[in-house]
A and B are shown apart, each in its own frame.
Chain A
Amino acid sequence: MAKYPDNLQYSKDHEWLKIEGDTGRAGITDFAQNSLGDIVYVELPKVGDKFEQGDPFGSVESVKSVNELFIPVSGEIIEVNEALADAPEQVNEDPYGKGWMIRFKITDPSEVDSLLSASEYEDFVAEQED
């Protein structure tokens, strides 16, 4: 698996966005899950909740820390990954697949342009690690 798949968009808050028609699916990046370590709890929003780009929509917790999750573009939640309640470690094991967190209706598609491509995100992460 690629660390940063080419078919995804990335935010500087280390979330990924997959565009599926007029909806988006989001989770945290491989860099984020690796930085957090063992994930033990994920708190997700309710279906119908609305968020503006960059708003906190939930939190992800490792043994050591609590970290907010920020929605990469504005949207209205249509589904959350219920499986993470019993298996939060899926975020570590498969951050772009089984570790997805929310599906939402994208309310302003133009915001997608503000996100990073896989290679841009990779450069961004490299700078963070310096």
Chain B
Amino acid sequence: MTELKKTALNAVHRKLGGRMVEFGGWDMPVQYSSTIEEHMAVRTAAGIFDVSHMGEIEIRGPQALDFVQYLTPNNAAKLADGQAQYSALLTPAGTFVDDVLVHRMGPEHFFICVNASNADKDFEWISSHAGRFEAEAVNTSSRYTQLAIQGPKALSILQPFADTDLSAIKYYWFTRGHIDGVPAIIARTGYTGEDGFEIYFDPAESERIWNRILEAGEPHGMKPCGLAARNTLRLEAKMALYGHEIDDTTTALEADLGWIVKLDKGDFIGRERLAEQKTAGVTRKLIGFEMLDRAPARDGYLVFVAGGSEPAGKVTSGSPAPFLHKNIGLAYLPIGQTAIGTQFEVEIRGRRVPAQIVPTPFYKREKK
């Protein structure tokens, strides 16, 4: 077995009682105390996550914007300095190499946050297309610790450590400032459906900053949170996970991510195929569902349209939803079977169990 990669906080997680598991080649905490408690802390107070396994790829050069525009389907030309957007790296077939967050650091500098398990593949993919552009891609993943501080109290807990007014950072914007004196990218982004921040800084300072924020946050209900809570939080918010909802067999339109596909922005990888698919219409679509019986649906369980004998697809993510107290999931269903309220069946240990399509996201925070 190849040696698992470790973040700079590995020893801290172990000391906190984190249960460590392999995730995307990394040795990561799946939970510390209880997934339900960690999930609820983020919905009601705050949670801190070490997400340093995520990769960072930076693109610089006079044609950095043109290069990003060619690589991604969303319109990076709309970004101002200090603004971020959800986007993707697509294949010519319009399917996913990865989903990414594109940050515009400056007119000739973009910072792309990518999935841990895809970081090397993404960097190779990006590099293989760099020749056409006056721009350079560098894999800077090892230069950053990334912490996510999420929840309704994230701002008030983090503010005393920041040298900038965090409330002035709008959702999906970021600033370059300092956290506890350490230079950091401070982004109002996240993967939980809550307000919060993701901060990127020098790994050498990881332990001190993690400990200081957690110590300050604990009296306010902050908990260290593992990958299990991160997964249930993102699922309640219906955020896609690579390898589940999206991969190189699913297109952005099928994945209900048409809003990141800007066909009229100019050429990009996958554009031609997605334009055809948009005209012809997709034959299947990602839907959200609730189980109508007690048993939870799980990743990979087969789904059947009502009365169907052949499986129509699989559950891409299925789990108990700790905040909603329901068993929820996402699955691809044939178009025509995807209306809200439609009932279908999930096979659980050989038994067909009823499920119903519901509006998504399952959870949406109240905007102040």
Contact string against B for A residues 32-49, beta-carbon threshold 8 Å, 1 for contact and 0 otherwise? 000001101101000000
If A40-B296, A40-B320, A85-B294 touch, whether A64 touches B35 (CB-CB below 8 Å) is: yes
Number of interface residues of B (CB under 8 A): 17
* A64 near B296: Cβ-Cβ < 8 Å: no
Q: How many of chain A's residues touch chain B, expressed as a range?
A: 10 to 19
B21 closest partner in A (C-beta): A64
Whether A66 is near chain B, meaning CB under 8 Å from some CB there, is: yes
A114 close to chain B: CB less than 8 A: no
Q: Which residues does chain B contribute within 8 Å of A40, judged by CB atoms?
A: 296, 320
| Contact assessment for A43 and B349 in the assembled complex, using a CB-CB cutoff below 8 Å | yes
- B29-50 residues with Cβ-Cβ distance < 8 A to A are 30-31, 34-36, 39
- CB nearest to A62 among chain B residues: B35
Question: Are B298 and A38 neighbours in the complex by a CB distance under 8 Å?
Answer: no
Q: Mark A51-65, 1 if CB is under 8 A from B, else 0.
A: 000000001011110
Interface of B is mostly: mixed
A63-B30 CB under 8 A given contacts A41-B296, A43-B349: no
Q: From A89, which residue of chain B is reached at the shortest CB distance?
A: B36
Chain B residue with the shortest CB-CB distance to A68: B349
Asked whether A64 lies within 8 Å of B228 as measured between CB atoms, the reply is yes
Kindly provide the distance from the CB of A112 to the nearest chain B CB, expressed in whole angstroms.
29
- Chain B neighbourhood of A41, CB < 8 A: 294-296, 320
Which among A38, A43, A62, A64 is the interface contact of B295 at CB below 8 angstroms?
A43
Pair A63/B294 contact, Cβ less than 8 Å: no
Contact indicator per residue, chain B 312-338, by CB within 8 Å of chain A (1) or not (0): 000000011010000000000000000
A37 adjacent to B295 (CB under 8 Å) = no
B232 adjacent to chain A (CB < 8 Å): yes
A62: chain B residues at CB < 8 Å are: 35
In the assembled complex, 5 residue pairs joining A and B whose CB atoms fall closer than 8 Å, in A order, are A37-B35, A37-B228, A61-B295, A63-B319, A85-B294
